[in-house]
Amino acid sequence: MHVGRILVLEEGYPYIERDIRGIFGAPVPIAGKLSGEIPLAGELSANSVRIALGLPGREGVSAAGIEVPGRPPQFCQGCPHADSFTALKRALEGEADFFTASDIGCYTLAALPPWNAVESCVDMGASVGMARGAATVGQKRAIGVIGDSTFYHSGMTNLLDAVRHRTPMTLLILDNGTTGMTGAQPTISPTSQLPKLLEGLGVVHDHIRVLEAHRRAIDADVAVIREELAYDGVSVIVMVRECIEWLKKARKT
């Protein structure tokens, strides 16, 4: 074999580095995260790769005296989720006893200021189960927030369970028509099918509410969310508006 050494550069857990060990006839040194050439924690950087390749590292530039403001991640300008959370927060004004469980997607950013609107995020589909669990142990306003793609992926089974147990909870499905967080891949099912699917899972027709996630509709949205929070059963509110990033992509094609 003409290869003297293999360097494996991979983000996340070193699966490939682990799995290719032992598959070569002649022993070839394999370098990467497991062997310590690449740091196991954090993301790959140009500097860590340079060092692993045996090149001199590049020191960062020091800018003494300059205060760089923190820039935490946030929604894109005009994101529909921002309007959905504004409506939810307004609907909860004056409520002392509520719990909001989020799922995993762009909307998880609502855990940060200025929203501070979600209190848990565990894994895909967990928002529904967390809200159901909270309601079951006596939480007054138990709310789950999940994206449309995540709902199709793993939220439906938990909702079916909540319906079967007549859990007093409200689920907000933020339907932006795409999988925004991972690059705007198409959602598996169109918005028009979602209410039928929810009915099929057993959600009562009158408590499936489809709203526009837009600042111009906020007063009406707040009123509906309040109504459903007061309902003693499973209610689902679908907040609909396209992801801005998806819209930009679609207009270019």
| Closest separation in Å from C-beta 207 to ligand SF4 | 26
* Single-letter amino acid code for the residue at 107: Y
Q: Is there binding between residue 127 and ligand SF4 (CB under 6 A)?
A: no
Q: Is there binding between residue 106 and ligand SF4 (CB under 6 A)?
A: yes
**CA dist., res. 13 & res. 120, Å (int):** 24
| Closest separation in Å from C-beta 172 to ligand SF4 | 14
In terms of C-beta density within 10 A (0-12 exposed, 13-18 middle, 19 or more buried), how is residue 13 classed? exposed
Segment 215 to 244, residues that bind ligand SF4, using CB under 6 A: 243-244
Strand partners, 208: 236
- For 137-177, where are the alpha helices, taking DSSP H only? 148-150, 156-164
Stretch that binds ligand SF4, among 32-40, 75-83, 129-137, 164-172 (CB under 6 A): 75-83
CA angle at residue 40 from 36 to 46, to 5 degrees?
85
Stretch that binds ligand SF4, among 10-18, 76-84, 87-95, 128-136 (CB under 6 A): 76-84
Residue closer to ligand SF4 by CB (options 176, 235) is 176
* Single-letter amino acid code for the residue at 187: T
Q: Is there binding between residue 79 and ligand SF4 (CB under 6 A)?
A: yes
Q: Is there binding between residue 6 and ligand SF4 (CB under 6 A)?
A: no
| Closest separation in Å from C-beta 25 to ligand SF4 | 47
Q: How many residues does the chain have?
A: 253
Structure tokens at 186: 């198409």
Structure tokens at 8: 């494996």
Residue closer to ligand SF4 by CB (options 178, 235) is 178
Binding site residues, ligand SF4, CB under 6 A? 75-76, 79, 81, 106, 176, 180-181, 243-245
